[in-house]
Amino acid sequence: MKIKHLEAKGEMDYDYSNDILFFKVKEREYDKSIELEDMVLDIDAEGYITGIQIFGASKMFNADKSALRNVQKWEFKVRTEGKVIFVQLMFEMLRRNQVVERGQNLVREASSLLTDSEVLCAAA
């Protein structure tokens, strides 16, 4: 089966009070969401994952909440194969006037089959 591919510009937000980091593909609306143990993934009508909300982001990335407010550059790559979701996040943030890199590779399993796809999204 052929994997669908999407490259897009995106936007990012951080909810300081709830410690939620959010990455989203610009100009694509989500159709449904999948709730996983530590994140919610938004999926559009074509089956692409177009949004990632990460709960407890400061713990997951071992970063100060104040530093997460200062993310400078970021990208995410997400690939789905059957029920398996591979998420790769990379970003840079300012902490005490120094650029600090953070990243995480995550593998999660959905409860139902997903469209085989790959999305590469970076800061606009």
Cα 1 to Cα 29, 43, 64: the distances in Å are 25, 20, 42
CB 123 within 8 A of CB 9: yes
Cα–Cα–Cα angle for 21, 24, 29, rounded to 5 degrees: 135
pLDDT score of 105 more than 80:
yes
Q: State the pLDDT confidence band at 1, using cuts at 50, 70 and 90.
A: low
Listed residue (21, 13, 45, 20) closest to 32, CA to CA: 45
Give pLDDT tens digits for 19-29: 999 999 998 99
Domain containing residue 19:
4-123
What's the pTM value of the predicted model, to 2 decimals?
Answer: 0.89
pLDDT at 19: 97
Q: How many domains does the chain have?
A: 1
28-51 pLDDT, tens digit each: 999 999 999 899 999 999 999 999
- Encode pLDDT of 48-95 as tens digits: 999 999 999 999 998 889 889 888 889 999 999 999 999 999 988 877
Contact 16, 65 (CB under 8 A): yes
Work out the number of other CB atoms within 10 angstroms of the CB of residue 53.
Answer: 21
